[in-house]
Structures are given as structure tokens and as C-alpha cells.
Amino acid sequence: MLTVVKIGGKILEDAQAQKEFCTQFAQIPSPKILIHGGGRTATTIAEKLGVETQMIEGRRVTSTEMLEVAVMVYAGLTNKSIVANLQALKCQAIGLCGADLDLIRAEKRPTEATNYGWVGDVKKVNAQALQSLLNLGSTPVIAPLTHDGKGQLLNTNADTIASEIASSLTDYEEVRLIFVFEKKGVLENIEDENSYFETLSYAQYQAQKQAGSIHEGMIPKLDNGFATLQKGVKEVIIGQLPKDNDIEKMIGTRLELSV
């Protein structure tokens, strides 16, 4: 089974936490793909460079200056740090973004309603190229940047990229999608770390969302996760990798389309 893992949040910011994650990830049986974020680091670097960070309803506005920062941080500092950590663990990682090998084509998000700047919505994933890398024994590590095929790089949500990549590869083999972050799973009560759902159906999700009990930052992950299940991904889990590296024992919330 192919395992697609998306990582973000505080795990990426702390050097020791990142190394611990890479140790766990490297021991996942191949084939595997890692997609990473890096938004908080980009914000920190932007501040140091005097570039203003703008957010609209929790979503980053990507100005020309912010896009330059995103490329430096996502495809540079963050991506290559992860690759170096994995290589130290004898995991043959290769760092990429959506422009490499024409992996991910996107188009700039329309600006009629809200102008998010250089933000791209995924239109096509080059699944054949990814599968070729996997067949060579490589582990792709993909930064959240795409391109429009006309020379323009675009900032694209890492959760969406992970979901699109996982869905695109279902024609080749069974796929498992894992969203890894610092919490144990999808929390029913944001104040209680242990209140995570072990399983969450689509109907339950809609009810919890309507009741306002699911944190707004989790909604895009869940929307993407359920969408991938509908497209043929076998399993979607949100949570933490287990210390013994047995994915079957992973702590987290498993999504289900029906009860």
C-alpha cells in the first residue's frame, strides 16, 4: 500500500520534533510520499525581511513579495531540511515542488470575490511521474508550491496537495492518506486533548460542524479527507504517528463516508 503523509504545524518548526518525525516516517514501509507545509516559518521569515503577512478568514494572502518568501522557505529551507534528515536515516528522499517534472499544474484563484494573490487551485497531478519515482525506490518530499504551465509559481494549500496526490495515485495501487500534526486527532472539545474521535463519519462531521464543535482550522483537512475517500483512497487518518512506527496502531481519527 502507498502511504501519503502530510505534515505541518509545530512539528516542522522545532528542529528536534522534525527529526523525531523523520525517524518515524523513514520507517514506514515504502512506497511513501511526504507533503509538507511551513506557513508559520514563512511568517517568521517574512517578518524578518519586512514583508507584511495578510490573512483573510485564516487564509494567507500571497502577494508577490510573500510568494518570494514562500518559495525560499517551502522549496528551500523546509524542504531541504526534511530531505537531509531523511537521507541521514538512509531514506532516499528527493525534494520537489509542483513545478518539478510538471508534477502539479494549477491556476490562479479568481479574484472576483476575494483576492488571495498568487494562490493556485490544483487542476492536474502528474501521477505517472510520481509513480515512476516511486518505482525507482525514491521517496518524494513535496513542498506546497504549484505552477500554471506558463512560468508562474503559485502558493497552494498543502492539505489540498496531499489530497489531490493521494487521489491521483489510486489507479496504480491502494492508497492511505495520513494528516500528521501535534494533536491526537479531531477533537470534540478543543480544550481536552483526549476528546478525539476514533472514527468520524461524514454525517457526524456535518453535524459537529453545524454545532460549531469542530475547530475551523480542521475543516479544510476534513473536507479534503472526505473528498479523497469519495475518489477511491482506501483510508484517511488525522493524528499522530505511533512511537513504534506501526501505522496500524496510529493514534488518530479515521474518516468514514458512512456510519
Mean pLDDT over 111-135 rounds to 93
What does the pLDDT read at residue 226?
94
Residue pair 213/147 in contact (Cβ under 8 Å)? The answer is no
Exposed / middle / buried, residue 68 (Cβ in 10 Å: 0-12, 13-18, 19+): middle
Q: Is 127 helix (H, G, I), strand (E, B) or coil?
A: helix
Does residue 41 have a pLDDT over 80? yes
Identify the band that residue 120 occupies on the pLDDT scale cut at 50, 70 and 90: very high
Domain ranges, residue 159? 2-178+243-249
Q: Tell me if 230 is assigned to some domain.
A: no
Number of structural domains found in the chain: 1
Q: Tell me if 56 is assigned to some domain.
A: yes
Q: Tell me if 86 is assigned to some domain.
A: yes
Mean pLDDT over 128-140 rounds to 97
Q: Tell me if 189 is assigned to some domain.
A: no
Q: Does 220 or 125 have the greater pLDDT score?
A: 125
Q: Tell me if 219 is assigned to some domain.
A: no
Q: Is 230 helix (H, G, I), strand (E, B) or coil?
A: helix
Mean pLDDT across the chain: 90
Q: Tell me if 210 is assigned to some domain.
A: no
Mean pLDDT over 127-139 rounds to 97
Q: Tell me if 18 is assigned to some domain.
A: yes
Does residue 100 have a pLDDT over 90? yes
Does residue 176 have a pLDDT over 90? yes
- Segment of 35-44, 100-109, 181-190, 234-243 carrying the highest mean pLDDT: 100-109
Domain harbouring 8, CATH code: 3.40.1160.10
Mean pLDDT over 34-45 rounds to 89
Mean pLDDT over 206-225 rounds to 83
Q: Tell me if 144 is assigned to some domain.
A: yes
Q: Which of 2-11, 62-71, 188-197 has the lowest mean pLDDT?
A: 188-197
Cα end-to-end distance, the chain, whole Å: 24
Does residue 246 have a pLDDT over 70? no
Identify the band that residue 242 occupies on the pLDDT scale cut at 50, 70 and 90: confident
Residue pair 41/77 in contact (Cβ under 8 Å)? The answer is yes
Q: Could you check whether the bond before residue 31 is cis, i.e. omega within 30 degrees of 0?
A: yes
| Beta-ladder partners of 175 | 2
